[in-house]
Amino acid sequence: MDKVIGIISASGGVGKSAVAALLGREFSSRGSTAAVELGSSRSLDIMLGADAAYDIRDVFEDIDTLDDALSPTDHPGLSLIQAADERFEADPELFESIVNRLRADYDYVVIDTQTGNHKAADAAAKTADSLVMVITLDSVCIRESAKMADYLETKHGKKILLALNKIELPIKSSYDLDAVIDQIGCRLIGILPYDKNIFAAGAKPGKKTAWAAARNITKRLMGIDVPLMFR
């Protein structure tokens, strides 16, 4: 079964980190989970509630800092390796060794990548069992996502799954989702609604929340047949 999930996107700000945080939370209710921020842009420490002394660059420099870099979060069973605070080279071979250690110690690993950092996307694509590409219904994002999917599938031979994010409900009948999916050429794994309370304190999975939609994505990644969003 897939246990290492890489979250990628071609455009910035589409919700990679938000999806990584939600999936990390969901996986951690099913087994021990490590979330890794691969890059130099920190978000998950705030989204998951973590206060770490070490970061991913420390682990690249000395793999023996791995255990110290795995910081507890506000969610039991979910640990985080936060992003570096400045740019660094994420060597794909070294990253594979790091992920292999995590594979041995955790049931699930969720990797958040950094927009525009092609090395990070390559390193995640090389090592992940599944790649989830977060997209929004924006023409530029769709065109760039098609290019990125083509590049990563050709280079790494991995299938990419699409998570459509920030969708206003109810979904407008004028949206041609099939055309979007055809243009990118990847399977849809889930649809997350725009949710203004996505990380509000005390938020609950509720019925029509991004959290509930992420729960369904997690189940679909585990091979459980549930709707793309929610009923």
Ligand X SMILES: Nc1ncnc2c1ncn2[C@@H]1O[C@H](COP(=O)(O)OP(=O)(O)OP(=O)(O)O)[C@@H](O)[C@H]1O
Gap between the Cα atoms of 21 and 94, Å rounded: 24
Gap between the Cα atoms of 223 and 203, Å rounded: 27
Q: Which residue is nearest to Mg ion (CB)?
A: 17
6's contact among ligand X, Mg ion, none, with CB below 5 to 8 A by partner kind, is none
Gap between the Cα atoms of 154 and 173, Å rounded: 34
12-71 residues in contact with Mg ion (CB under 5 A) are 16-17, 43
Minimum CB separation of residue 1 from ligand X in Å reads 26
195's contact among ligand X, Mg ion, none, with CB below 5 to 8 A by partner kind, is ligand X
End-to-end CA distance of the chain: 26
Q: Which residues pair with 163 in a beta bridge?
A: 134, 190
Minimum CB separation of residue 43 from Mg ion in Å reads 5
18's contact among ligand X, Mg ion, none, with CB below 5 to 8 A by partner kind, is ligand X
Residue 113 is a binding residue for Mg ion (CB under 5 A): no
Gap between the Cα atoms of 137 and 205, Å rounded: 24
Minimum CB separation of residue 190 from ligand X in Å reads 11
Query: Which is closer to ligand X, CB of 66 or CB of 111?
Result: 111
198's contact among Mg ion, ligand X, none, with CB below 5 to 8 A by partner kind, is ligand X
Residues in the chain: 231
Query: Which is closer to Mg ion, CB of 46 or CB of 222?
Result: 46
166's contact among ligand X, Mg ion, none, with CB below 5 to 8 A by partner kind, is ligand X
Contact residues for ligand X (CB under 6 A)? 9, 12-18, 41, 43, 114-115, 165-166, 192, 194-196, 198-199, 210
Minimum CB separation of residue 36 from ligand X in Å reads 14
Residue 165 is a binding residue for Mg ion (CB under 5 A): no
| Cβ–Cβ under 8 Å, residues 123 and 38 | yes
Query: Which is closer to ligand X, CB of 21 or CB of 66?
Result: 21
Q: Exposed, middle or buried: residue 80 (CB in 10 Å: 0-12, 13-18, 19+)?
A: buried
Query: Which is closer to ligand X, CB of 63 or CB of 208?
Result: 208
Query: Which is closer to ligand X, CB of 66 or CB of 198?
Result: 198
Residues that bind Mg ion (CB under 5 A): 16-17, 43
